[in-house]
Chain A
Amino acid sequence: AQRVTQPEKLLSVFKGAPVELKCNYSYSGSPELFWYVQYSRQRLQLLLRHISRESIKGFTADLNKGETSFHLKKPFAQEEDSAMYYCALSSGYSTLTFGKGTMLLVSP
């Protein structure tokens, strides 16, 4: 069975500091991984997906199959990055298995 693990419930950093939100997965097939974000009082939305290999709002994530990881990184955190971040794995027909989420707080 597939599983997504986000070990940190809360990550607190200062503005301008680097950020790394950890995500590890367990899946027997070829994984498709995503990061979703939920800003305060907004709905859950896609931040980025590994297959696109793009940078959104300065965030990047690299799929490491050897370490079964898909960590989200940003070199310089901004206050507007404060949000709940969910790592998710696609397991057919676009259904998603989510981690428990990490709350990122960026202080001025």
Chain B
Amino acid sequence: DAGVTQSPTHLIKTRGQQVTLRCSPISGHKSVSWYQQVLGQGPQFIFQYYEKEERGRGNFPDRFSARQFPNYSSELNVNALLLGDSALYLCASNQLAGGRTDTQYFGPGTRLTVL
């Protein structure tokens, strides 16, 4: 298994544009979480999805949205991009829902630059 995969690797957008980031979890994992990592900070939780349902949402504006597909892959959408949205976006997958001690497996991230 290649582990969690994310696409694209890098992305450059201008202010006001919209962006879609993609994530494929490890085979057999039904839960996907998204994190934003701004330079010099730790990852910050955005969303968690399990079985296509949103299970958790972090403190992010409504410009951020996500969804999970029947094959458990996920997309993160960000509308009306701001300069401050420039960050590394990480996807993580884990196997069980509600398992607080579940190990989260992280993807390599998508580096988004907003100009």
Contacts and interface: CB of A to CB of B under 8 A. Distances in A.
Interface in A80-108: 86, 88, 90, 92-101
Interface residues of B, number: 32
Interface in B93-115: 94, 96-109
A86 to B, nearest CB: 5
Contacts, number: 67
A44 B101 CA distance: 17
A4 B48 CA distance: 20
Contact of B48 (A6, A95, A99): A95
Given A46-B104, A51-B101, A96 B40 contact: no
Contact of A45 (B33, B44, B106): B106
A96 B46 CA distance: 10
B23 to A, nearest CB: 13
30 contacts: A32-B100, A43-B3, A43-B106, A44-B106, A45-B106, A46-B103, A49-B101, A86-B43, A92-B98, A92-B100, A93-B31, A93-B48, A93-B55, A93-B100, A94-B33, A94-B94, A95-B33, A95-B45, A95-B48, A95-B56, A95-B58, A96-B35, A96-B45, A97-B45, A98-B35, A98-B43, A99-B42, A100-B41, A100-B42, A101-B42
